Amino acid sequence: MDALVLEPVRNTSNQEEQIQKLITLSLKEDARSNTGQTLAAYLQPNDQHQLFVALFEKLCIGIVGLENLGGHKYYIRHIAVEPDMQWKGIGNFMLEQLPKFLLLKILETETDKKYVGFFQACQFDVFPDPHKTASAEKYHCVK
Residue 42's beta-bridge partner residues?
A: none
Helix (H) or strand (E) holding 60: strand 59-70
91-105 per-position pLDDT tens digit: 999 999 999 999 999
Q: What is the pLDDT of residue 44?
A: 82
What is the pTM for the complete model shown?
0.89
- Dihedral angle computed from the Cα positions of residues 43, 24, 113 and 109, in that order, rounded to the nearest 10 degrees: 0
Q: What is the pLDDT of residue 30?
A: 61
